[in-house]
Amino acid sequence: MFGTPLTPDAIEAETAYRLERTKRAFRSARRERPEQAGPAPAAKGSPGPPAHRRGVDDDELTRADLCATGKHAIQHVREHLTADGILSAAELRTAPANTRVRAAGVVTRRQRAATASGITFIDLEDETGMIKVIVSPGRWARHRKTARDSSALIITGRLERANGVTKLNAERLERLHLDARAIQRRDSPLRD
């Protein structure tokens, strides 16, 4: 679905490659034009990008970059999410039951059990915890492409709490963009 998953070794190689490239760019900019800091050309004999980069899509590279920072991917966009009224997993635990809320996270699991009458369960993760999402067959059919293909989602739905477990009954699913371009733009809508 997302190409070849990045292994810890591949993430480390990517991080080392980008760090070295950034260092060269800063050294070059300082020497040549202190007022301009553009990327440095590849040095002669430079090994170039790691071999695992071939066939890796932008989402995977972004996830590798985000992992290398030591922060959860959602932390990079939390300010925008909060401004849009999107709650964290921790805030969902204290929000009143049976209210309409919005939450967002990285998809960690999609499951459709044979005994669940077509209901799909999605687990989202943000920097504060897990969010359990229930998607009815009708909602799944309406939002199938987004629900199936997105690595991160914004969910609008009704908050349900039973036996100490908080769940979100999905009414609407939107793709949450976690690519570097969306994260860097201050005015980013972060979604389609």
Residue at token pair 């995977």: 60
pLDDT tens digits along 34-71 = 554 444 445 555 555 555 555 565 556 656 655 666 67
pLDDT tens digits along 93-105 = 999 999 999 999 9
- Is the pLDDT assigned to residue 151 strictly greater than 60? yes
Q: At what angle do helices 8-32 and 58-68 cross, to 10 degrees?
A: 80
Give domain 74-184's CATH superfamily. Answer: Nucleic acid-binding proteins (2.40.50.140)
Residue 5 pLDDT: 61
- Top pLDDT among 12 and 2 is at 12
Are 37 and 29 in contact by the 8 Å Cβ rule? The answer is yes
pLDDT tens digits along 127-136 = 899 999 999 9
| Amino acid residing at 38 | G
Q: Where are the domains of the chain?
A: 8-70, 74-184
Number of Cβ within 10 Å of residue 58's Cβ equals 10
- Top pLDDT among 68 and 3 is at 68
Q: Distance between CA atoms of 69 and 48, rounded to whole angstroms? A: 22
Lowest mean pLDDT across 80-84, 166-170, 178-182 = 178-182
Residue 90 pLDDT: 93
